[in-house]
Structure 1
């Protein structure tokens, strides 16, 4: 009986805890494996994606630096690698560019000189930028304009873009240059800008040119148009017919004023890297243009200009009241201006 009870109890216990179905267990294991697999795949994909992004970023950052060869240590401050916003320099991105400014006075041959420079395939001189008053209204506007020019983003007919090796402008002394000379000198030194001074020795000839140009602005003898510079002998002959009458009372003070302005400009910018040129010297000796190209460190080229000189020959044939002018200047420091200082 006891055995039967024991047997009954065991049977009862066995019946109360039946075996779980193998199919259910397999399903649970399979689901667990799938969840684990999906998680692992997600983690792997995330890591691969972040590695790809990191790789592309590193390619953009790491690049071969541009280091122009054969540059003397003393010249390095004047060598630049601008990155224009308006175009790409492409294969010329590592070609060095030098900055310059032609500092001059009106009717001193600067327009003719600039056309000579622009005939060089690697020089871009962008004209009389600061003739527009708003650009020279304050030093901030001046600096903003200069930055745009020297970054090759000032686009004119003279721009050589990616091929540029020397870039600059023509700047008259009375166009904010003297007024802000301290700040501009500091800019030249900081940015490595070289100054090219261009003046006329004979200030009397310059005065004749100024008066004749002023007359042309009003009379417009060339078919009703005003031309500061001409490209044909016929046009030059028409403009040269006008002979100005010079106010002899103001002649000496005017000459002295211009003389002082030139002297002061040389004094203000003497600590900049510069070269001093005179119109008459370039007319008589074209090797002066070789010196300019050496100064700008550009390949030597034969520079040409289409401009034709207007006033030729002795001053006695160009001034209406020549005898009065001669009498006024005789015995003064400007007497030598009466002489014929060059021939064409």
Structure 2
């Protein structure tokens, strides 16, 4: 270390510090430069992290569900934005889809009603999907099938463009619907599925239709083929030639059983968002169809069907033992069934 130089003046003692060496000065400069460099780098890194975070936040906002700001808040639980695995909805990804199910019983007009729904450009109703037994073996298989339908991954002949605004199917009471009603009701309420009840008021006409359809499964009256629904008056006339004979001993019991199954379904699914329809009312009053479209919150359109009714006209023309049936129902709660043309 350099030694300090001391010397005296006339008035005081003065200590003069030694001169710094060039090596020491260079070291000080290097240390100062390193400190500045570290500070500058840390500042840049902070700015980079901030920009990255902003970009990530922007991406997160873009991927949020596309709810419309002017949508009635009470309707949001019923709006869905499916992401199918089988295709990409692309520009339709932000088009909301409503889920529905038509709950009915065989030969209650559900096939005709579904063709009306499918004539609407925004509706896809996939038919009787639970007629396949494997899909209704247990509650788990039912729920998996429902997920597939409502996620637009079940492609049927009724499927329209990927921008369908309502998607559903028809479900018969004897296809696991009653057996697993607790799980199904919970699913419907959690998913916001709207239920359309469709039943037939005249249970005697329904019975005639069930018996005739069951007979044709084996007789195959239309050129060796079986058809549950027809599209021409000629085909309808051919099928109507068969007149079933009704067991009058069990007639009242069977009618009560039909009524009970309808009542049971209404009780089980009462907690869902639903609308109740009678087939006969749809025939007489076409404004009932407007109610259905309004229920699904879709634009009104004229709904059409190519199906032709098979058993039209008075019932006495379609029952082989009409006199016995007439006698059995006279004076009972079911007497009105004898006079209905629907």
Question: For the superposition of Structure 1 and Structure 2, which TM-score range results when normalised by the shorter chain?
Answer: 0.7 to 0.9
Q: Tell me the CA shift for residue 341 of structure 1.
A: 4.1
Map of 1:3 onto structure 2: none
More helix by share: 1
Q: Does the 8 Å CA contact 2:83/2:89 hold for their aligned counterparts? A: yes
Matched, 1:97 2:97: yes
Q: Is the 8 A contact 1:81 1:95 kept in 2?
A: yes
How far 1:67 sits from its partner (Å)? Answer: 1.5
Corresponding residue for 2:165? 165
1:68 aligns with 68
- 1:44-123 counterparts in 2 under 5 A? 58=56, 61-63=60-62, 65=64, 66-123=66-123
TM-score, length of structure 2 as denominator length: 0.82
Displacement of 1:280 after TM fit? Answer: 0.3
2:211 corresponds in structure 1 to 211
In structure 2, list runs of 5 or more residues that go unmatched. Answer: 1-44
Taking structure 1 as reference, are residues 150 and 161 closer, same or farther at Cα in structure 2, changes over 3 Å only? farther
SS across alignment from 2:147: helix
Pairing 1:284–2:284 present: yes
Q: Which moved more, 1:82-91 or 1:253-262?
A: 82-91
User: What residue in structure 2 maps to residue 20 of structure 1?
Assistant: none
Secondary structure of the 2:124 match is strand
1:162 alignment partner, SS class: coil
Residue 305 of structure 1 is matched in structure 2 by 305
Matches within 5 A, 1:12-51: none
The alpha-carbon deviation at position 64 of structure 1 amounts to 5.5
Instruction: Classify 1:233/1:69 alpha carbon distance in 2 versus 1 (closer, same or farther; 3 Å).
Output: farther
Q: Separation in 1 of the partners of 2:168 and 2:335? A: 36
Q: Deviations over 1:100-151 (max 9, x none)?
A: 0000000000000000000111101001010111100000000000001001
Does the Cα contact within 8 Å between 1:81 and 1:93 map onto a contact in 2? Answer: yes
Deviation for aligned residue 1:241? 0.7
What is the 5 A alignment of 1:182-331? 182-331=182-331
Q: Which secondary structure does the structure 2 equivalent of 1:190 belong to? A: helix
Quote the residue 1:31 is aligned against. Answer: none
Partners of 2:249 and 2:73 in 1: CA distance = 54
Deviation at 1:92, TM superposition (A): 1.3
Deviation at 1:82, TM superposition (A): 1.0
CA displacement at 1:322 relative to structure 2: 0.4
Q: Is the 8 A contact 2:204 2:255 kept in 1?
A: yes
Contact persistence 1:79–1:97 (CA under 8 A): yes
Q: How far is 1:340 from its partner?
A: 2.3
Once residues 165 and 336 of structure 1 are traced to their aligned partners in structure 2, the CA distance between those partners, rounded to angstroms, is 40
Deviates more, 1:188-197 or 1:79-88: 79-88
Do the aligned residues in 2 keep the contact of 1:152 with 1:161 (CA within 8 Å)? no
Contact 1:68 1:94 in 2 (8 A): no
Q: Using the alignment, how far apart are the partners of 1:307 and 1:296 within structure 2?
A: 23
Q: Could you tell me whether the CA contact under 8 Å between 1:68 and 1:95 is conserved in 2? A: no
Give the Cα–Cα distance (whole angstroms) in 2 for the partners of residues 206 and 289 of structure 1. Answer: 21
Task: Provide the aligned length of Structure 1 versus Structure 2.
Answer: 293
Q: Is the 8 A contact 2:312 2:341 kept in 1?
A: no
**Does the CA-based 8 Å contact 2:202-2:340 persist in structure 1?**
no
Take 1:151 and 1:226, find their aligned partners in 2: how far apart are those partners?
32
User: Would you say the 8 A contact 1:195–1:273 is kept in 2?
Assistant: yes
Provide closer, same or farther for how the CA distance between residues 193 and 96 of structure 1 changes in structure 2, counting only shifts above 3 A. same
* Kept after mapping to 2: 8 A contact 1:89/1:161: no
Q: Does 1:140 align with 2:135?
A: no
1:199-220 CA-partner distances (Å, limit 9, x unpaired): 0000000000001101111111
Task: Tell me whether 262-271 or 62-71 shows the greater mean CA deviation.
Answer: 62-71
Q: CA deviation at 1:87?
A: 1.0
